[in-house]
């Protein structure tokens, strides 16, 4: 539904690594849109070139004025950007809001692995999706069933390739954009070291974790709490009370030691994309000694996540989409940050301490209604990194839901939710 965008002059800022934005622009042009793309670094140039490119080579503090002039000069009516937590994008969001220009944020899918997110006015902790269960029950009842999404398949190597190429371009062609400051370390030489270390650790952890899943289930099936960690530089940390992943670990271990039944254990699962950068083994051993629960803390890496979710007593997460996957597997979930699925009836409304004593199961019917609305509002079948040609677009996303559905219905949902919120009970704090 790209023809129903409602805007003819569109601005692209930074997109996912790879050719997605170039292909997406082609889709929009075929439907009568004028696309302008701002490039900020050589990595952007690598994947998006052409007469519609405007290059920003100034200092970060010069970006707001540059953008204001661009918006006025090109009479921009809509903005697309990947991730709303990057400093350059935070400034763009602020200016777009001031000027009343609608913007859409692209992000990895809430429903993984076969969807991506394209949501108006913010994602994750900045999402405008309602937090009232009654909204989703009522809205889903009025929607027709959707076919199963097409399987995207493994996109890791596609994403890895685009990331490596972008990193190489930024590192060795830095002189083209000497003032550019990326929101993460993308130096190709350092990243090469990390990739080698990550590969070595993967082999080491495979040996260390051999047979761990069988032993875990034999002894602790149904009696362990799972803490799936997020990457140390996850933008979602800003939507939580923590400064670092270490702060999350410290709080959860302390609460587990103080409140969880003695016949339970805590399984801490490292994020696979973070193995090259962080190892929390020493911290967990220290906390185990401090709280006297070291024998009941298990630190694992590449164990099969769906199996871990299926047999857990409960899942504790900062705000990872693993929490939503856990709900699909019937596991109770406690969210300690902000997450779109942190809704009464889906996740625990009690404190962390109370959750460790008595986890709250999710309402299966509400979960189905919530997922149905996500697919209606902002979840699009496809991948940013691996093009699925048979979905009918150049960019490889499902054409039947782009982008009118994301352009209007999230806002409608927010307005409708205001009426529901007036009669909804207040939510308790995270506590613990």
For 101-159, write each residue's pLDDT tens digit.
Answer: 999 999 999 999 999 999 999 999 899 999 999 999 999 999 999 889 999 999 999 99
According to the model, what pLDDT value does residue 4 have?
53
Angstrom distance (rounded) from CA 304 to CA 272: 11
The answer to whether 384 and 23 have CB atoms below 8 angstroms apart is: no
Is the pLDDT reported for residue 57 higher than 70?
Answer: yes
Question: What is the CATH number that goes with domain 187-342?
Answer: 3.40.50
Is the pLDDT reported for residue 281 higher than 80?
Answer: yes
The residues, any chain, with a CB within 8 Å of residue 78's CB and separated by 6 or more, are 5, 6, 7, 9, 10, 11, 101, 102, 103, 104
Is the pLDDT reported for residue 175 higher than 60?
Answer: yes
Nearest by Cα to 159 from 321, 381, 386: 386
According to the model, what pLDDT value does residue 388 have?
85
Q: How confident is the model at residue 429 (pLDDT cuts 50, 70, 90)?
A: very low
Strands across the sheet containing 34-39:
53-55, 34-39, 9-12, 78-82, 103-108, 115-120, 379-381
According to the model, what pLDDT value does residue 8 have?
87
The residue-averaged pLDDT of 274-296 equals 97
Strand partners, 55: 39
Strand partners, 269: 228, 300
Letter string b/e over residues 165-182, b meaning 16 or more CB atoms within 10 A of that residue's CB: bbbbbbbeeeeebeebeb
The answer to whether 356 and 253 have CB atoms below 8 angstroms apart is: no
According to the model, what pLDDT value does residue 409 have?
42
For 337-394, write each residue's pLDDT tens digit.
Answer: 999 999 999 999 999 999 999 999 999 999 999 999 999 889 999 999 999 877 878 9
The residue-averaged pLDDT of 34-51 equals 97
The residues, any chain, with a CB within 8 Å of residue 325's CB and separated by 6 or more, are 112, 305, 306, 309
Angstrom distance (rounded) from CA 129 to CA 144: 20
The residues, any chain, with a CB within 8 Å of residue 296's CB and separated by 6 or more, are 256, 264, 265, 266, 288
Average pLDDT taken over every residue of the chain: 90
The torsion of the CA quartet 308, 227, 159, 124, rounded to 10 degrees, works out to: 120
For 315-329, write each residue's pLDDT tens digit.
Answer: 999 999 999 999 999
Nearest by Cα to 118 from 402, 405, 378: 378
What SS3 state is found at 29? helix
The residue-averaged pLDDT of 217-221 equals 97
Is the pLDDT reported for residue 424 higher than 60?
Answer: no
Q: How confident is the model at residue 275 (pLDDT cuts 50, 70, 90)?
A: very high
The residues, any chain, with a CB within 8 Å of residue 261's CB and separated by 6 or more, are 356, 357
Domain boundaries, the chain: 2-154+379-421, 187-342
Is the pLDDT reported for residue 431 higher than 90?
Answer: no
Angstrom distance (rounded) from CA 289 to CA 295: 9
The 8-class DSSP code of residue 228 comes to E
The residue-averaged pLDDT of 1-6 equals 52
Q: Write the DSSP string, 112-125.
A: TTTEEEEEET--GG
Place of tokens 């839901």: 401
Q: What is the pTM of this model?
A: 0.89
Domains 2-154+379-421 and 187-342 share a fold: yes
Angstrom distance (rounded) from CA 431 to CA 429: 6
The tokens of 168 are what?
């190489």
Is the pLDDT reported for residue 67 higher than 60?
Answer: yes
Is the pLDDT reported for residue 171 higher than 90?
Answer: yes
**Which range among 28-32, 334-338, 398-402 shows the weakest confidence by mean pLDDT?**
398-402
Is the pLDDT reported for residue 423 higher than 50?
Answer: no
Please tell me the class of the 2-154+379-421 domain: alpha beta
Pairing between β-strand 78-82 and β-strand 9-12 as defined by DSSP bridges: parallel
The residue-averaged pLDDT of 172-184 equals 95
Higher per-residue confidence, 47 vs 406: 47
The answer to whether 370 and 364 have CB atoms below 8 angstroms apart is: no
Higher per-residue confidence, 404 vs 222: 222
Angstrom distance (rounded) from CA 72 to CA 51: 19
According to the model, what pLDDT value does residue 422 have?
45
Q: How confident is the model at residue 185 (pLDDT cuts 50, 70, 90)?
A: very high
The residue-averaged pLDDT of 264-283 equals 97
Backbone angles phi, psi at 398, to 5 degrees: -65, 115
Angstrom distance (rounded) from CA 337 to CA 353: 15
What SS3 state is found at 144? coil
For 363-376, write each residue's pLDDT tens digit.
Answer: 999 999 999 999 98
Angstrom distance (rounded) from CA 373 to CA 409: 10
Higher per-residue confidence, 401 vs 53: 53
Q: How confident is the model at residue 202 (pLDDT cuts 50, 70, 90)?
A: very high
Place of tokens 């929101």: 183
Q: How confident is the model at residue 411 (pLDDT cuts 50, 70, 90)?
A: very low
Place of tokens 């670094």: 41
């Amino acid at each position: 539904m790209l023809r129903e965008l409602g805007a003819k002059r569109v601005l692209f800022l930074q997109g996912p690594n790879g050719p997605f934005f170039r292909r997406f622009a082609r889709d929009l042009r075929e439907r009568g849109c004028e696309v302008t793309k701002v490039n900020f670094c050589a990595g952007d140039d690598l994947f998006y070139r052409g007469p519609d490119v405007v290059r920003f080579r100034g200092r970060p503090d010069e970006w707001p004025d540059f953008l204001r002039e661009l918006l006025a000069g090109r009479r921009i009516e809509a903005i697309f950007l990947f991730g709303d937590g990057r400093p350059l994008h935070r400034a763009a969001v602020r200016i777009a809001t001031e000027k009343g220009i609608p913007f859409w944020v692209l992000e990895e899918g809430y429903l993984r692995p076969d969807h991506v997110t394209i949501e108006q006015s913010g994602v994750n902790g900045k999402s405008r999706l309602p937090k009232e269960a009654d909204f989703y029950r009522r809205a889903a009842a009025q929607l027709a069933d959707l076919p199963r999404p097409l399987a995207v398949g493994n996109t890791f190597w596609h994403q890895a390739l685009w990331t490596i190429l972008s990193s190489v371009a930024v590192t060795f062609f830095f002189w083209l954009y000497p003032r550019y400051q990326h929101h993460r370390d993308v130096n190709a030489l350092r990243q090469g070291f990390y990739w080698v270390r990550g590969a070595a650790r993967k082999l080491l952890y495979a040996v260390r974790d051999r047979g761990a899943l069988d032993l875990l289930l034999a002894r602790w099936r149904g009696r362990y709490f799972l803490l799936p960690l997020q990457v140390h530089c996850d933008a979602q940390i800003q939507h939580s009370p923590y400064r670092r992943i270490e702060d999350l670990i410290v709080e959860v271990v302390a609460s587990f030691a103080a409140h969880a039944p003695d016949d339970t254990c805590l399984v801490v699962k490292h994020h696979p994309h973070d193995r090259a950068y962080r190892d929390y083994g020493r911290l967990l051993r220290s906390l185990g000694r401090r709280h006297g629960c070291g024998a009941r803390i298990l630190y694992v890496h590449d164990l099969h996540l769906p199996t871990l979710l299926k047999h857990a007593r409960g899942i504790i997460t900062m705000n990872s989409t693993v929490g939503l996957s856990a709900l699909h597997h019937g596991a109770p979930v406690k969210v300690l940050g902000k997450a779109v699925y942190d809704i009464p009836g889906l996740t625990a409304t009690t404190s962390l301490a109370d959750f460790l004593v008595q986890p709250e199961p999710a309402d299966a019917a509400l979960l189905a209604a919530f997922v149905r609305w996500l697919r209606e509002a902002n979840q699009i079948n496809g991948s940013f990194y691996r093009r699925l040609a048979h979905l009918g677009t150049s960019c490889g996303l499902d054409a039947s839901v782009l982008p009118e559905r994301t352009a209007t219905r999230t806002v409608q949902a927010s307005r409708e939710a205001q009426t529901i919120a007036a009669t909804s009970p207040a939510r308790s704090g995270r506590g613990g």
